[in-house]
Structure 1
Amino acid sequence: MERLQQFFTNDWAIQRHDLDCVMALLTPSIVAGNLQAADDFLKQKELVAKAVAAPYLAHYWELDDINLPSNAIAVVYLTGMLYAWETDWLIKTLQAAEANPAVCGIVLVIDGPGGHVTRIDVAAAAIKESTKPVATVVAGSMCSAHYWLGTCADRVFAVSQFCTVGSVGAMCEYIGMKNYFTNLGIDIRDIYPDGADLKNEETRALEEGDESLTKSRLEKVHRIFAETVAENLGIAYDPTLELFRGRVFSADEAVAAGYIDQIGSLADAITWVLTEATSRQAAKLYN
Structure 2
Amino acid sequence: MSPQDDASAPAPAPNAAPLPDPVAQAADTPAAPPPMPIGRGSFDHVMEQFARDYVRDRRSSRRWNLFFRFGWLALGVFAAWTIHQDTTTSSAPSGPHSALVELRGEIAAGGEASAEVLLSGLKSAFEDAGAQGVIIRINSPGGSPVQAGIVYDEVKRLKALHNKKVYAVVEESAASGAYYIAVAADEIYVDKASIVGSIGVLMDGFGFDKVLEKVGVERRLLTAGENKGMLDPYSPLSEKQRGYAQAMLDQIHRQFIDTVREGRGERLKETPETFSGLFWNGEEAVKMGLADGLGNLDHVARDVIKAEAIIDYTPKENVAERLAKRFGAAIGEGAVRALGGLPALR
The TM-score range, normalised by the shorter chain, is 0.5 to 0.7
Quick check: 1:164–1:248 contact (8 Å CA) kept in 2?
yes
| Correspondence for 2:22 | none
* C-alpha distance in structure 2 between counterparts of 1:97 and 1:275, whole Å: 16
Q: Which moved more, 1:122-131 or 1:238-247?
A: 238-247
| Correspondence for 2:29 | none
- Matched AA of 2:249: L
Q: 1:142 is paired with a residue of what secondary structure? A: strand
* C-alpha distance in structure 2 between counterparts of 1:252 and 1:258, whole Å: 10
| Correspondence for 2:265 | 234
| Correspondence for 2:236 | 207
Higher strand share: 1
* C-alpha distance in structure 2 between counterparts of 1:161 and 1:168, whole Å: 19
| Correspondence for 2:14 | none
The superposition leaves residues 92-132 of structure 1 with CA deviations (integer Å, 9 ceiling, x where unpaired) of 22223233334342111112222222321111111222232
> Of the two structures, which has the highest relative contact order with CA contacts closer than 8 Å and spacing of 6 or more?
2
Instruction: Point out where structure 2 has 5 or more consecutive residues left out of the alignment.
Output: 1-85, 308-346
* Mapping 1:109-120, distance limit 5 Å: 109-120=137-148
Pair 75,182 (structure 1): closer, same or farther in 2 beyond 3 Å: farther
The RMSD of aligned alpha carbons is 3.4
Q: 1:222 is paired with a residue of what secondary structure? A: helix
Shift of 1:239: 8.6
| Correspondence for 1:72 | 97
* C-alpha distance in structure 1 between counterparts of 2:125 and 2:238, whole Å: 47
* C-alpha distance in structure 2 between counterparts of 1:236 and 1:273, whole Å: 18
Instruction: Point out where structure 1 has 5 or more consecutive residues left out of the alignment.
Output: 1-59, 277-287
Quick check: 2:138–2:170 contact (8 Å CA) kept in 1?
yes
Quick check: 1:128–1:152 contact (8 Å CA) kept in 2?
yes
- Matched AA of 1:113: P
Of structures 1 and 2, the larger Rg is shown by 2
Pair 236,115 (structure 1): closer, same or farther in 2 beyond 3 Å: same
Pair 156,147 (structure 1): closer, same or farther in 2 beyond 3 Å: same
Is it true that 1:175 corresponds to 2:206 in the alignment?
Answer: yes
Is it true that 1:124 corresponds to 2:156 in the alignment?
Answer: no
* C-alpha distance in structure 2 between counterparts of 1:97 and 1:206, whole Å: 49
Identity %: 24
2:279 paired residue among 241, 248, 260: 248
| Correspondence for 1:35 | none
Equivalent pairs counted in the alignment come to 213
Pair 177,75 (structure 1): closer, same or farther in 2 beyond 3 Å: farther
Q: TM-score, normalised by structure 1?
A: 0.63
2:254 paired residue among 214, 219, 223: 223
Quick check: 1:138–1:157 contact (8 Å CA) kept in 2?
yes
Pair 101,203 (structure 1): closer, same or farther in 2 beyond 3 Å: farther
| Correspondence for 2:176 | 144
Quick check: 1:72–1:103 contact (8 Å CA) kept in 2?
yes
* C-alpha distance in structure 2 between counterparts of 1:138 and 1:237, whole Å: 17
Quick check: 1:113–1:143 contact (8 Å CA) kept in 2?
yes
Q: TM-score, normalised by structure 2?
A: 0.53
- Matched AA of 2:167: A
2:129 paired residue among 84, 101, 105: 101
- Matched AA of 2:126: E
| Correspondence for 1:87 | 114
